[in-house]
Amino acid sequence: MTSPLPSSPPASVLDLAPVVPVVVVTDAADAVPLVRALVAGGLPAIEVTLRTPAASAAIRAIAAEVPDAVVGAGTVLTPAQVTESVAAGARFLVSPGWTDVLLEAMQASGVPFLPGVSTTSEVVTLLERGVREMKFFPAQAAGGTAYLKSLAGPLPQARFCPTGGIGPGVAPEYLALPNVGCVGGSWMLPADAIAARDWARVESLAREAAALRPRG
């Protein structure tokens, strides 16, 4: 698949790579070298969570300095965060859950978004509103691959990015499901590697993650 132009939003976040790294940035100065390592390892879609004061500055720096990255904002909870994230350069949005107000803001943002779901009713409600791509969270706690496999029969039009408790051991099981486009996780960003600014190790772990999708 051809990578989207840096200035354009991706057609689908789910199709950019098998794994979307979920990045918590505490020091904005680390954002650019960290994301360069992830992209070099084959993971261009990056979710920067809005859990720290450095998140917006990190998104802005990545958008400006790493053109091969498709940077998004995660843990989006309010319309104000939607506006702030898109202004900073976020090219997609991810929320752990959704409300009517948040969904309307994400739909009006002009960028792709993945609202979080964990129940069948939430999935059906979003499908009624024209939303077919969603985050399944917290994936392992909410039923894991067995739950998503059960949804594929009655709701084949829904596609998911499962996130929450997923590591390299179970990621291939999710990626083998027909209704899973990618998974989200942070195992390629171990705390000791980030603290040591060992970007070579991050790149190596990213390369392993990029190769997790089953072939065939």
Query: Is 173 assigned a catalytic role?
Result: no
Of the candidates 62, 125, 123, 118, the residue with the CA atom closest to the CA atom of residue 88 = 62
Decide if 25 contacts 52 (C-beta within 8 A): yes
Annotated catalytic residue: which of 47, 128, 133, 149? 47
What does pTM read for this prediction?
0.94
Query: 213: pLDDT confidence band, cut at 50, 70 and 90?
Result: confident
Annotated catalytic residue: which of 65, 133, 135, 149? 135
Decide if 93 contacts 73 (C-beta within 8 A): yes
End-to-end CA distance of the chain: 17
CA angle in degrees (0–180, nearest 5) for 74-79-81: 45
Query: Is 47 assigned a catalytic role?
Result: yes
Indicate the SS3 state at residue 185.
Answer: strand
pLDDT digits (tens, 9 = 90+) for 142-166: 999 999 999 999 999 999 999 999 9
Percent of the chain having pLDDT more than 70?
Answer: 95
Per-residue model confidence (pLDDT) at position 42: 96
Q: Is the pLDDT of residue 111 over 80?
A: yes
How far are the Cα atoms of 67, 82, 127, 134, 137 from residue 3, in angstroms, in the given order? 11, 24, 27, 21, 27
pLDDT digits (tens, 9 = 90+) for 71-103: 999 999 999 999 999 999 999 999 999 999 999
